[in-house]
Amino acid sequence: MIRWLIALGLAVLASPLRAETCRLALALAMDISTSVDENEDVLQRQGLAAALIAPEVVEAFFSSPAPVALAVYEWSGRTTQRVILNWTMINTETDLLVAASTVQQSVRSDSGSATAMGYALAFGATLMQQAPPCLFNTIDLSGDGSNNDGYGPDSAYRHFPFQNVVVNGLVINAADFEGELFLIPFFENNVLHGPGAFLEIAQGFDDFERAMRRKLERELKGLQIGVLQDDAHR
């Protein structure tokens, strides 16, 4: 771990631009596939907006003097991905309030597409290439169903630039218990990617805000610690 810290410090010193930009580029991806009805979509958007300005999440955003770069996009079918919030540097609480308001006021772009999870991840990898240079890069994929259209997450990870990107997941466990029986293992075995990647579970869309608050807090405050711990045990 000491060697890792020294190497990280030298890299930061050698790159003034990187040192002056941000600690984390975080892209949040929301599922708008056909399995998500109108009311559930509203719960998801309002839940994410509320989670971004929850006191514990605000504290996590500003737990370090280095800011966070934030982006939000929606995904469903092969050609249905849309940026809701383009890369925004969160330097102040006002920046965070504006970002949350943008999400809250957004309207879904499609309601009849399948679940093309591989395409959603590929879009996220491409979006991450446009992010400001940051020490860590994370895609946060939420969904209430597994891939049923086009190539899957494994192909996305093979063919798109994920070398320095962690992918965390948020499973929305529906009332039919699909999440418990199939979706949670699918995310664990196919979606999570990179050191320290983890899964959060929402017990339905009504629980989305709570699960998102918990996940954001962990990503914003615990990512660095998790990576260091993983490296220390290798």
| In the chain, beta strands by DSSP E | 22-31, 68-75, 81-90, 134-143, 166-172, 199-202
And the tokens for 58? 């605000």
Q: Mean pLDDT over all residues of the chain? A: 85
Average pLDDT on 71-97 reads 95
Count of CB atoms within 10 A of residue 229's CB?
13
pLDDT score of 6: 33
**169 touches 206 (CB < 8 A):** no
pLDDT tens-place string over residues 9-24: 433 333 343 444 799 9
User: Residue 113 pLDDT more than 50?
Assistant: yes
Q: What is the pTM of this model?
A: 0.85
Over the stretch 164-177, which tens digit does the pLDDT of each residue have? 999 999 999 876 55
What pLDDT, on a 0 to 100 scale, did the predictor assign at position 109? Answer: 87
User: What is the reported pLDDT for 5?
Assistant: 34
pLDDT digits (tens, 9 = 90+) for 203-212: 999 999 999 9
Q: What is the mean pLDDT of residues 105-124?
A: 91
